[in-house]
Structure 1
Amino acid sequence: MEAVRWLIKKARQRLMDHQFSVSEKLAGRYQIEKVLQNGSYGIIYLCRDLNTSQPCVVKQMRKSKRRENVENYAQETAILKQLDHPGIPALIEAFSYEGEQFFSMEFVKGKNVEDTLFSTGQQYTEKECLEIVQKLAEIVCAIHHQGVFHGDIRIPNVLLHNGDLHLIDFGLASKLDADSGLKTPREKLAQDDFFDLGDFLLFLLYSSYDGDTKKGRPWTEELSLHPDTTVLLKRLLGISEPYQQCGDILADMKKVISMLE
Protein backbone atom coordinates (compact mmCIF):
# COMPACT_ATOMS: atom_id res chain seq x y z
CA MET A 1 0.00 0.00 0.00
CA GLU A 2 2.84 2.42 0.84
CA ALA A 3 4.47 1.69 -2.51
CA VAL A 4 1.19 2.47 -4.32
CA ARG A 5 0.86 5.80 -2.46
CA TRP A 6 4.44 6.68 -3.36
CA LEU A 7 3.81 5.93 -7.07
CA ILE A 8 0.62 8.03 -7.04
CA LYS A 9 2.48 10.89 -5.37
CA LYS A 10 5.27 10.79 -7.96
CA ALA A 11 2.78 10.61 -10.84
CA ARG A 12 0.91 13.61 -9.46
CA GLN A 13 4.15 15.58 -9.14
CA ARG A 14 5.12 14.80 -12.75
CA LEU A 15 1.73 15.97 -13.98
CA MET A 16 1.52 19.16 -11.92
CA ASP A 17 5.09 20.27 -11.25
CA HIS A 18 7.17 21.55 -14.14
CA GLN A 19 10.91 21.39 -13.52
CA PHE A 20 12.80 23.92 -15.60
CA SER A 21 15.95 22.89 -17.43
CA VAL A 22 19.54 24.05 -17.15
CA SER A 23 20.17 27.18 -19.30
CA GLU A 24 16.49 28.24 -19.17
CA LYS A 25 15.80 31.80 -18.00
CA LEU A 26 13.21 32.39 -15.29
CA ALA A 27 11.29 35.65 -15.66
CA GLY A 28 13.98 36.85 -18.09
CA ARG A 29 16.36 37.39 -15.17
CA TYR A 30 17.56 34.13 -13.63
CA GLN A 31 19.48 31.72 -15.85
CA ILE A 32 19.51 28.20 -14.40
CA GLU A 33 22.97 26.68 -13.98
CA LYS A 34 22.14 23.66 -11.83
CA VAL A 35 19.30 21.94 -9.95
CA LEU A 36 20.46 21.90 -6.34
CA GLN A 37 17.56 20.04 -4.78
CA ASN A 38 14.32 18.43 -5.90
CA GLY A 39 12.45 18.27 -2.61
CA SER A 40 8.94 17.39 -1.50
CA TYR A 41 7.78 21.00 -1.29
CA GLY A 42 9.96 22.76 -3.83
CA ILE A 43 12.68 22.68 -6.45
CA ILE A 44 15.84 24.68 -5.75
CA TYR A 45 18.02 26.01 -8.55
CA LEU A 46 21.44 27.60 -8.66
CA CYS A 47 21.05 30.52 -11.06
CA ARG A 48 22.93 33.45 -12.51
CA ASP A 49 21.21 36.77 -11.86
CA LEU A 50 21.49 38.46 -15.26
CA ASN A 51 20.85 41.87 -13.67
CA THR A 52 23.94 41.64 -11.46
CA SER A 53 25.94 38.76 -13.01
CA GLN A 54 26.05 37.23 -9.52
CA PRO A 55 25.08 33.66 -8.55
CA CYS A 56 21.86 33.26 -6.60
CA VAL A 57 19.48 30.57 -5.40
CA VAL A 58 15.90 30.35 -6.72
CA LYS A 59 13.24 28.26 -5.02
CA GLN A 60 10.17 27.09 -6.97
CA MET A 61 7.10 26.05 -5.01
CA ARG A 62 5.38 22.81 -6.06
CA LYS A 63 1.83 23.11 -7.44
CA SER A 64 1.18 19.57 -6.21
CA LYS A 65 1.65 20.91 -2.67
CA ARG A 66 -0.35 24.07 -3.29
CA ARG A 67 -2.59 23.69 -0.24
CA GLU A 68 0.41 23.58 2.12
CA ASN A 69 2.64 25.88 0.08
CA VAL A 70 0.38 28.93 -0.21
CA GLU A 71 0.80 29.75 3.47
CA ASN A 72 4.38 28.48 3.68
CA TYR A 73 5.44 30.57 0.67
CA ALA A 74 3.99 33.75 2.15
CA GLN A 75 5.49 33.00 5.56
CA GLU A 76 8.97 32.11 4.33
CA THR A 77 9.28 35.11 2.01
CA ALA A 78 7.97 37.48 4.71
CA ILE A 79 10.47 36.12 7.23
CA LEU A 80 13.43 36.34 4.84
CA LYS A 81 12.40 39.89 3.91
CA GLN A 82 12.28 40.84 7.59
CA LEU A 83 15.58 39.30 8.64
CA ASP A 84 18.80 41.21 8.09
CA HIS A 85 21.74 39.20 9.35
CA PRO A 86 25.09 38.27 7.73
CA GLY A 87 24.50 34.65 8.74
CA ILE A 88 21.20 34.37 6.82
CA PRO A 89 20.82 34.50 3.00
CA ALA A 90 19.11 37.73 1.96
CA LEU A 91 15.86 37.63 -0.01
CA ILE A 92 16.16 39.20 -3.47
CA GLU A 93 12.53 39.03 -4.62
CA ALA A 94 9.39 36.89 -4.84
CA PHE A 95 8.01 36.47 -8.36
CA SER A 96 5.75 34.44 -10.65
CA TYR A 97 6.69 32.90 -13.98
CA GLU A 98 4.61 30.70 -16.30
CA GLY A 99 2.07 30.10 -13.55
CA GLU A 100 4.70 29.02 -11.02
CA GLN A 101 5.65 30.78 -7.78
CA PHE A 102 9.32 31.46 -7.00
CA PHE A 103 11.57 33.47 -4.77
CA SER A 104 15.25 34.28 -5.18
CA MET A 105 17.90 34.53 -2.49
CA GLU A 106 21.52 35.44 -2.07
CA PHE A 107 23.87 32.55 -2.87
CA VAL A 108 26.04 31.57 0.09
CA LYS A 109 29.31 29.74 -0.44
CA GLY A 110 29.94 26.75 1.74
CA LYS A 111 29.32 23.09 2.38
CA ASN A 112 26.58 21.97 4.73
CA VAL A 113 27.62 20.29 7.94
CA GLU A 114 26.05 16.98 6.89
CA ASP A 115 28.37 16.76 3.88
CA THR A 116 31.32 17.99 5.92
CA LEU A 117 30.86 15.28 8.55
CA PHE A 118 29.89 12.31 6.41
CA SER A 119 31.53 12.96 3.03
CA THR A 120 34.89 14.33 4.13
CA GLY A 121 35.17 12.70 7.56
CA GLN A 122 35.85 16.04 9.25
CA GLN A 123 36.56 15.77 12.98
CA TYR A 124 36.20 18.55 15.54
CA THR A 125 37.60 18.94 19.01
CA GLU A 126 35.22 19.72 21.87
CA LYS A 127 36.31 23.35 21.80
CA GLU A 128 35.83 23.61 18.02
CA CYS A 129 32.35 22.10 18.35
CA LEU A 130 31.38 24.68 20.94
CA GLU A 131 32.80 27.54 18.86
CA ILE A 132 30.76 26.45 15.83
CA VAL A 133 27.57 26.11 17.86
CA GLN A 134 28.25 29.46 19.53
CA LYS A 135 28.14 31.11 16.08
CA LEU A 136 24.93 29.25 15.31
CA ALA A 137 23.42 30.25 18.66
CA GLU A 138 24.24 33.90 17.94
CA ILE A 139 22.14 33.70 14.76
CA VAL A 140 19.34 31.94 16.65
CA CYS A 141 19.38 34.63 19.34
CA ALA A 142 19.20 37.35 16.69
CA ILE A 143 16.16 35.86 14.94
CA HIS A 144 14.40 35.11 18.26
CA HIS A 145 14.82 38.77 19.16
CA GLN A 146 12.84 39.55 15.99
CA GLY A 147 10.10 37.06 16.86
CA VAL A 148 11.25 34.38 14.38
CA PHE A 149 11.84 30.74 15.32
CA HIS A 150 13.57 28.50 12.80
CA GLY A 151 12.00 25.15 13.72
CA ASP A 152 14.38 23.04 11.63
CA ILE A 153 17.97 23.54 12.81
CA ARG A 154 19.70 20.45 11.42
CA ILE A 155 23.11 19.65 9.96
CA PRO A 156 21.88 19.96 6.31
CA ASN A 157 20.65 23.50 7.07
CA VAL A 158 23.92 24.92 8.36
CA LEU A 159 26.67 25.98 5.93
CA LEU A 160 30.33 26.42 6.84
CA HIS A 161 32.90 28.28 4.74
CA ASN A 162 36.29 29.63 5.85
CA GLY A 163 35.12 30.11 9.42
CA ASP A 164 31.81 31.70 8.44
CA LEU A 165 28.51 30.03 9.32
CA HIS A 166 25.09 30.46 7.69
CA LEU A 167 21.67 29.17 8.71
CA ILE A 168 19.44 28.38 5.72
CA ASP A 169 15.97 26.98 4.87
CA PHE A 170 13.28 28.90 6.73
CA GLY A 171 10.51 26.79 5.20
CA LEU A 172 9.31 25.59 8.61
CA ALA A 173 9.99 28.83 10.48
CA SER A 174 7.39 30.57 12.64
CA LYS A 175 6.89 34.29 13.09
CA LEU A 176 5.40 35.40 16.36
CA ASP A 177 3.66 38.77 16.32
CA ALA A 178 0.27 40.25 16.99
CA ASP A 179 -1.04 39.22 13.56
CA SER A 180 0.50 35.76 13.28
CA GLY A 181 -2.34 33.84 14.92
CA LEU A 182 0.14 31.29 16.28
CA LYS A 183 -1.18 29.30 19.24
CA THR A 184 2.21 27.81 20.17
CA PRO A 185 3.72 29.75 23.10
CA ARG A 186 6.93 31.66 22.55
CA GLU A 187 8.69 29.56 25.20
CA LYS A 188 7.86 26.33 23.36
CA LEU A 189 9.05 27.67 20.01
CA ALA A 190 12.28 28.92 21.59
CA GLN A 191 12.99 25.68 23.41
CA ASP A 192 12.39 23.67 20.23
CA ASP A 193 15.24 25.67 18.66
CA PHE A 194 17.34 25.22 21.81
CA PHE A 195 16.80 21.45 21.65
CA ASP A 196 17.95 21.50 18.01
CA LEU A 197 21.08 23.39 19.05
CA GLY A 198 21.82 20.64 21.58
CA ASP A 199 21.19 17.91 19.02
CA PHE A 200 23.42 19.74 16.54
CA LEU A 201 26.19 19.99 19.13
CA LEU A 202 25.97 16.25 19.79
CA PHE A 203 26.40 15.50 16.08
CA LEU A 204 29.58 17.58 16.04
CA LEU A 205 30.95 16.04 19.23
CA TYR A 206 30.51 12.52 17.86
CA SER A 207 32.68 13.45 14.85
CA SER A 208 35.78 12.69 16.94
CA TYR A 209 34.34 9.71 18.84
CA ASP A 210 36.35 6.58 18.03
CA GLY A 211 34.75 4.10 20.42
CA ASP A 212 32.03 1.54 19.80
CA THR A 213 28.53 2.94 19.83
CA LYS A 214 26.33 0.54 21.74
CA LYS A 215 22.57 0.55 21.49
CA GLY A 216 20.96 1.94 24.61
CA ARG A 217 24.15 3.50 25.98
CA PRO A 218 23.68 7.26 26.49
CA TRP A 219 26.02 9.93 25.16
CA THR A 220 26.95 10.81 28.74
CA GLU A 221 28.76 7.47 28.94
CA GLU A 222 30.25 7.47 25.45
CA LEU A 223 31.62 11.01 25.26
CA SER A 224 34.37 12.35 27.52
CA LEU A 225 33.38 15.99 27.95
CA HIS A 226 34.15 18.88 30.22
CA PRO A 227 31.57 18.79 33.05
CA ASP A 228 30.22 22.21 32.03
CA THR A 229 29.73 21.03 28.44
CA THR A 230 27.66 18.15 29.80
CA VAL A 231 25.57 20.58 31.86
CA LEU A 232 25.11 22.81 28.80
CA LEU A 233 23.97 19.87 26.66
CA LYS A 234 21.57 18.57 29.28
CA ARG A 235 19.91 21.97 29.57
CA LEU A 236 19.68 22.42 25.79
CA LEU A 237 18.12 18.97 25.42
CA GLY A 238 15.72 19.52 28.31
CA ILE A 239 17.22 16.68 30.38
CA SER A 240 17.79 19.10 33.24
CA GLU A 241 16.40 22.60 33.82
CA PRO A 242 15.86 23.94 30.27
CA TYR A 243 17.14 27.31 29.14
CA GLN A 244 14.62 30.13 29.08
CA GLN A 245 16.81 32.82 27.52
CA CYS A 246 19.17 32.77 24.55
CA GLY A 247 21.60 35.03 26.36
CA ASP A 248 22.14 32.43 29.07
CA ILE A 249 23.12 29.85 26.43
CA LEU A 250 25.70 32.21 24.93
CA ALA A 251 27.10 33.08 28.35
CA ASP A 252 27.51 29.41 29.28
CA MET A 253 29.12 28.57 25.93
CA LYS A 254 31.59 31.42 26.29
CA LYS A 255 32.44 30.20 29.80
CA VAL A 256 33.11 26.60 28.71
CA ILE A 257 35.15 27.66 25.65
CA SER A 258 37.38 29.80 27.87
CA MET A 259 37.93 26.82 30.19
CA LEU A 260 39.00 24.63 27.26
CA GLU A 261 41.61 27.09 25.98
Structure 2
Amino acid sequence: MGSYGIAYKGRDLHTKRFVVVKQARRTKGEDGRRLLQREADLLARLRHPQIPRLYDRFVERGQPHLVMEYIEGETVEDLIFKRGVTYTEQAAFQLLRDVLMVVCHLHTLGIVHRDLRIPNIIWRNGTVFVIDFGLACRIGESVDVRDDDPVEKRLRREPHPRSDFYALGHFTLFLLYSAYEPISDEEKSWEEELDLSSNARRILRKMLQLDAPYDHVDELIDDVDQLLAEPIRNQAGAL
Protein backbone atom coordinates (compact mmCIF):
# COMPACT_ATOMS: atom_id res chain seq x y z
CA MET A 1 0.00 0.00 0.00
CA GLY A 2 1.41 3.34 -1.05
CA SER A 3 0.36 6.95 -0.57
CA TYR A 4 -2.08 6.93 -3.46
CA GLY A 5 -2.40 3.33 -4.61
CA ILE A 6 -2.74 -0.28 -3.54
CA ALA A 7 -0.86 -2.99 -5.46
CA TYR A 8 -1.70 -6.69 -5.54
CA LYS A 9 0.21 -9.64 -6.90
CA GLY A 10 -2.10 -11.63 -9.16
CA ARG A 11 -2.05 -14.28 -11.84
CA ASP A 12 -3.34 -13.86 -15.37
CA LEU A 13 -5.81 -16.72 -15.88
CA HIS A 14 -5.03 -16.95 -19.61
CA THR A 15 -1.23 -16.67 -19.70
CA LYS A 16 -0.67 -18.06 -16.15
CA ARG A 17 1.98 -15.39 -15.57
CA PHE A 18 2.16 -13.33 -12.40
CA VAL A 19 1.17 -9.67 -12.73
CA VAL A 20 0.76 -6.60 -10.54
CA VAL A 21 -2.75 -5.16 -10.28
CA LYS A 22 -2.79 -1.61 -8.98
CA GLN A 23 -5.76 0.52 -7.98
CA ALA A 24 -6.12 4.02 -6.60
CA ARG A 25 -6.97 4.26 -2.92
CA ARG A 26 -10.62 5.24 -2.54
CA THR A 27 -9.76 7.69 0.23
CA LYS A 28 -7.70 9.75 -2.26
CA GLY A 29 -10.74 10.39 -4.45
CA GLU A 30 -10.17 12.14 -7.76
CA ASP A 31 -6.49 12.86 -6.97
CA GLY A 32 -5.78 9.14 -6.69
CA ARG A 33 -7.58 8.34 -9.94
CA ARG A 34 -5.73 11.16 -11.72
CA LEU A 35 -2.33 9.94 -10.53
CA LEU A 36 -3.14 6.35 -11.54
CA GLN A 37 -4.13 7.57 -14.99
CA ARG A 38 -0.88 9.54 -15.25
CA GLU A 39 1.11 6.46 -14.22
CA ALA A 40 -0.63 4.40 -16.91
CA ASP A 41 0.02 7.03 -19.59
CA LEU A 42 3.70 7.22 -18.68
CA LEU A 43 4.20 3.45 -18.50
CA ALA A 44 2.62 3.09 -21.93
CA ARG A 45 5.49 5.22 -23.29
CA LEU A 46 8.27 3.45 -21.42
CA ARG A 47 9.17 0.44 -23.53
CA HIS A 48 12.30 -0.71 -21.74
CA PRO A 49 13.34 -4.21 -20.64
CA GLN A 50 14.20 -2.98 -17.12
CA ILE A 51 10.89 -1.21 -16.53
CA PRO A 52 7.58 -3.05 -15.94
CA ARG A 53 5.35 -3.26 -18.98
CA LEU A 54 1.79 -2.00 -18.83
CA TYR A 55 -0.44 -4.91 -19.91
CA ASP A 56 -3.93 -3.54 -19.43
CA ARG A 57 -6.17 -1.06 -17.66
CA PHE A 58 -9.81 -1.46 -16.62
CA VAL A 59 -12.50 -0.02 -14.35
CA GLU A 60 -14.14 -2.16 -11.67
CA ARG A 61 -16.90 -0.75 -9.44
CA GLY A 62 -15.98 2.73 -10.55
CA GLN A 63 -12.31 2.34 -9.62
CA PRO A 64 -9.60 2.39 -12.30
CA HIS A 65 -7.02 -0.43 -12.21
CA LEU A 66 -3.71 -1.07 -13.97
CA VAL A 67 -2.26 -4.47 -14.84
CA MET A 68 1.54 -4.48 -15.05
CA GLU A 69 4.42 -6.87 -15.43
CA TYR A 70 5.50 -8.44 -12.15
CA ILE A 71 9.24 -8.03 -11.58
CA GLU A 72 10.52 -10.75 -9.29
CA GLY A 73 13.82 -10.13 -7.54
CA GLU A 74 15.49 -8.70 -4.44
CA THR A 75 15.94 -5.17 -3.25
CA VAL A 76 19.34 -3.95 -2.09
CA GLU A 77 17.93 -4.03 1.42
CA ASP A 78 17.29 -7.78 1.00
CA LEU A 79 20.81 -8.34 -0.32
CA ILE A 80 22.44 -6.46 2.56
CA PHE A 81 20.36 -7.58 5.54
CA LYS A 82 19.30 -11.07 4.46
CA ARG A 83 22.31 -12.24 2.46
CA GLY A 84 25.04 -10.18 4.12
CA VAL A 85 26.24 -8.51 0.91
CA THR A 86 28.54 -5.51 1.34
CA TYR A 87 29.46 -2.96 -1.29
CA THR A 88 32.88 -1.48 -1.93
CA GLU A 89 33.08 1.98 -3.48
CA GLN A 90 33.57 0.43 -6.93
CA ALA A 91 30.66 -2.00 -6.50
CA ALA A 92 28.35 0.74 -5.21
CA PHE A 93 29.09 3.08 -8.09
CA GLN A 94 28.84 0.25 -10.63
CA LEU A 95 25.33 -0.48 -9.37
CA LEU A 96 24.55 3.23 -9.46
CA ARG A 97 25.67 3.33 -13.08
CA ASP A 98 23.40 0.39 -13.94
CA VAL A 99 20.44 2.28 -12.46
CA LEU A 100 21.47 5.48 -14.24
CA MET A 101 21.24 3.76 -17.61
CA VAL A 102 17.55 3.11 -16.94
CA VAL A 103 17.10 6.64 -15.61
CA CYS A 104 18.75 7.97 -18.78
CA HIS A 105 15.95 6.35 -20.81
CA LEU A 106 13.35 8.10 -18.63
CA HIS A 107 14.98 11.50 -18.85
CA THR A 108 15.45 11.21 -22.62
CA LEU A 109 11.67 10.85 -22.86
CA GLY A 110 11.18 13.86 -20.62
CA ILE A 111 10.13 11.85 -17.56
CA VAL A 112 11.44 11.90 -13.98
CA HIS A 113 10.72 9.04 -11.56
CA ARG A 114 10.72 11.10 -8.30
CA ASP A 115 10.69 8.01 -6.07
CA LEU A 116 13.98 6.18 -6.60
CA ARG A 117 14.06 4.62 -3.17
CA ILE A 118 15.51 1.25 -2.18
CA PRO A 119 12.17 -0.65 -2.46
CA ASN A 120 11.75 0.56 -6.05
CA ILE A 121 15.08 -0.75 -7.36
CA ILE A 122 15.06 -4.51 -7.89
CA TRP A 123 18.07 -6.78 -8.49
CA ARG A 124 17.53 -9.98 -10.47
CA ASN A 125 20.23 -12.22 -11.93
CA GLY A 126 22.73 -9.39 -12.33
CA THR A 127 20.23 -6.90 -13.79
CA VAL A 128 18.56 -3.92 -12.12
CA PHE A 129 14.92 -3.00 -12.64
CA VAL A 130 13.16 0.23 -11.72
CA ILE A 131 9.56 -0.12 -10.56
CA ASP A 132 6.66 1.95 -9.13
CA PHE A 133 6.01 4.95 -11.33
CA GLY A 134 3.21 6.27 -9.13
CA LEU A 135 4.97 9.61 -8.55
CA ALA A 136 6.63 9.89 -11.98
CA CYS A 137 5.85 13.00 -13.99
CA ARG A 138 6.98 14.96 -17.00
CA ILE A 139 9.95 17.28 -16.55
CA GLY A 140 8.68 20.73 -15.66
CA GLU A 141 5.14 19.54 -14.96
CA SER A 142 3.20 21.32 -12.24
CA VAL A 143 3.28 19.07 -9.16
CA ASP A 144 1.96 19.17 -5.60
CA VAL A 145 5.15 20.39 -3.91
CA ARG A 146 4.86 23.51 -1.78
CA ASP A 147 7.48 25.97 -0.60
CA ASP A 148 6.66 25.12 3.02
CA ASP A 149 7.25 21.38 2.50
CA PRO A 150 10.34 19.94 4.25
CA VAL A 151 13.54 20.42 2.23
CA GLU A 152 13.95 16.65 1.85
CA LYS A 153 10.52 16.33 0.23
CA ARG A 154 11.06 19.28 -2.10
CA LEU A 155 14.40 17.91 -3.29
CA ARG A 156 12.94 14.43 -3.91
CA ARG A 157 9.74 15.61 -5.61
CA GLU A 158 11.04 18.41 -7.84
CA PRO A 159 9.89 17.79 -11.47
CA HIS A 160 13.49 17.99 -12.66
CA PRO A 161 16.23 15.37 -13.22
CA ARG A 162 17.92 16.72 -10.08
CA SER A 163 15.28 14.99 -7.94
CA ASP A 164 16.26 11.57 -9.29
CA PHE A 165 19.96 12.29 -8.73
CA TYR A 166 19.24 13.40 -5.17
CA ALA A 167 17.35 10.19 -4.42
CA LEU A 168 20.11 8.09 -5.99
CA GLY A 169 22.69 9.92 -3.90
CA HIS A 170 20.97 8.56 -0.80
CA PHE A 171 20.64 5.16 -2.46
CA THR A 172 24.41 5.10 -3.08
CA LEU A 173 25.14 6.10 0.51
CA PHE A 174 22.99 3.19 1.68
CA LEU A 175 25.17 0.85 -0.39
CA LEU A 176 28.39 2.35 0.93
CA TYR A 177 27.27 2.08 4.56
CA SER A 178 26.82 -1.68 4.12
CA ALA A 179 30.57 -2.10 4.72
CA TYR A 180 30.86 0.58 7.41
CA GLU A 181 31.74 -0.44 10.95
CA PRO A 182 31.40 2.38 13.50
CA ILE A 183 34.31 2.84 15.87
CA SER A 184 32.54 5.22 18.29
CA ASP A 185 29.05 6.32 19.33
CA GLU A 186 29.74 9.89 18.24
CA GLU A 187 27.36 11.05 15.52
CA LYS A 188 29.22 12.17 12.40
CA SER A 189 28.38 13.04 8.82
CA TRP A 190 28.79 10.53 5.99
CA GLU A 191 31.84 12.47 4.78
CA GLU A 192 33.55 11.87 8.11
CA GLU A 193 32.48 8.25 8.52
CA LEU A 194 33.01 6.78 5.05
CA ASP A 195 36.42 6.16 3.52
CA LEU A 196 35.80 7.55 0.04
CA SER A 197 37.93 8.64 -2.87
CA SER A 198 37.90 12.33 -3.74
CA ASN A 199 35.92 11.56 -6.90
CA ALA A 200 33.27 9.63 -4.99
CA ARG A 201 32.93 12.45 -2.48
CA ARG A 202 32.65 15.04 -5.26
CA ILE A 203 29.97 13.05 -7.13
CA LEU A 204 27.90 12.47 -4.00
CA ARG A 205 28.06 16.11 -2.95
CA LYS A 206 26.72 17.13 -6.37
CA MET A 207 23.99 14.47 -6.33
CA LEU A 208 22.91 15.54 -2.84
CA GLN A 209 22.96 19.20 -3.94
CA LEU A 210 25.53 20.17 -1.34
CA ASP A 211 27.52 21.60 -4.25
CA ALA A 212 26.28 22.86 -7.64
CA PRO A 213 24.07 19.93 -8.72
CA TYR A 214 24.03 17.88 -11.89
CA ASP A 215 21.43 19.05 -14.39
CA HIS A 216 21.78 16.25 -16.92
CA VAL A 217 22.18 12.50 -16.52
CA ASP A 218 25.03 12.35 -19.07
CA GLU A 219 27.19 14.55 -16.84
CA LEU A 220 26.65 12.20 -13.92
CA ILE A 221 27.30 9.06 -15.96
CA ASP A 222 30.55 10.57 -17.30
CA ASP A 223 31.76 11.27 -13.76
CA VAL A 224 30.80 7.77 -12.57
CA ASP A 225 32.65 6.25 -15.54
CA GLN A 226 35.72 8.26 -14.62
CA LEU A 227 35.54 6.95 -11.05
CA LEU A 228 35.10 3.35 -12.22
CA ALA A 229 38.16 3.68 -14.47
CA GLU A 230 40.37 4.54 -11.50
CA PRO A 231 42.56 1.83 -9.93
CA ILE A 232 40.61 -0.11 -7.31
CA ARG A 233 41.33 1.17 -3.83
CA ASN A 234 42.10 -1.23 -1.00
CA GLN A 235 38.76 -1.31 0.79
CA ALA A 236 37.09 -3.76 3.13
CA GLY A 237 34.00 -5.56 1.92
CA ALA A 238 33.14 -6.85 -1.52
CA LEU A 239 30.18 -7.65 -3.70
TM bucket by the smaller chain? 0.7 to 0.9
C-alpha change, 1:176 and 1:243, in structure 2 (3 Å) is closer
C-alpha change, 1:228 and 1:41, in structure 2 (3 Å) is same
Q: 2:57: which partner in 1?
A: 94
Amino acid at match of 1:73: L
Query: TM-score, normalization: structure 1?
Result: 0.78
Answer yes or no: is 1:257 the counterpart of 2:220: no
**Larger deviation: 98-107 or 77-86?**
98-107
The one-character-per-residue Cα deviations of 1:155-181 (angstroms, maximum 9, x if unpaired) are 11100011110111111111248xx55
Matched position secondary structure for 1:259: coil
Does the 8 A contact of 2:138 with 2:159 survive in 1?
no
| CA positional deviation for 1:215 | 5.4
**Larger deviation: 40-49 or 162-171?**
40-49
Does the 8 A contact of 1:127 with 1:260 survive in 2?
no
Query: TM-score, normalization: structure 2?
Result: 0.85
Q: 1:159: which partner in 2?
A: 122
C-alpha change, 1:90 and 1:192, in structure 2 (3 Å) is same
User: Alignment partner for residue 111 of structure 2, among 148, 161, 175?
Assistant: 148
CA RMSD of aligned residues (A): 2.1
Q: 1:61: which partner in 2?
A: 24
User: Alignment partner for residue 205 of structure 2, among 227, 234, 240?
Assistant: 234
Matched position secondary structure for 2:15: coil
Amino acid at match of 1:45: Y
Matched position secondary structure for 1:80: helix
User: Alignment partner for residue 170 of structure 1, among 133, 137, 144?
Assistant: 133
Task: Indicate the structure (1 or 2) with the bigger Cα radius of gyration.
Answer: 1
**Larger deviation: 60-69 or 161-170?**
60-69
Paired with 1:243 and 1:225, the residues of 2 have a C-alpha distance of 20
Does the 8 A contact of 2:76 with 2:118 survive in 1?
yes
Amino acid at match of 1:200: F
Answer yes or no: is 1:225 the counterpart of 2:196: yes
Q: 2:170: which partner in 1?
A: 199
Paired with 2:215 and 2:25, the residues of 1 have a C-alpha distance of 37
Does the 8 A contact of 2:139 with 2:159 survive in 1?
no
| CA positional deviation for 1:113 | 2.0
Answer yes or no: is 1:74 the counterpart of 2:26: no
The one-character-per-residue Cα deviations of 1:35-78 (angstroms, maximum 9, x if unpaired) are xxx34432211111122221111112221212320210111000
5 Å-filtered alignment, 1:115-134, equals 115-134=78-97
The one-character-per-residue Cα deviations of 1:74-95 (angstroms, maximum 9, x if unpaired) are 1100011111111111111111
Paired with 1:136 and 1:123, the residues of 2 have a C-alpha distance of 18
The one-character-per-residue Cα deviations of 1:196-246 (angstroms, maximum 9, x if unpaired) are 111111010001101247554111111111111111111111112211221
Would you say how many aligned residue pairs link Structure 1 and Structure 2? Answer: 220
- Mark the runs of 5 or more structure 2 residues left unpaired by the alignment: 146-157, 233-239
Paired with 1:63 and 1:188, the residues of 2 have a C-alpha distance of 26
Amino acid at match of 1:44: A
Paired with 2:134 and 2:185, the residues of 1 have a C-alpha distance of 35
Matched position secondary structure for 1:224: coil
Q: 2:151: which partner in 1?
A: none
C-alpha change, 1:97 and 1:182, in structure 2 (3 Å) is closer
Matched position secondary structure for 2:19: strand
Answer yes or no: is 1:51 the counterpart of 2:18: no
Amino acid at match of 1:205: L
Paired with 2:12 and 2:6, the residues of 1 have a C-alpha distance of 17
Matched position secondary structure for 2:229: helix
C-alpha change, 1:232 and 1:214, in structure 2 (3 Å) is farther
Tell me the percent identity: 35
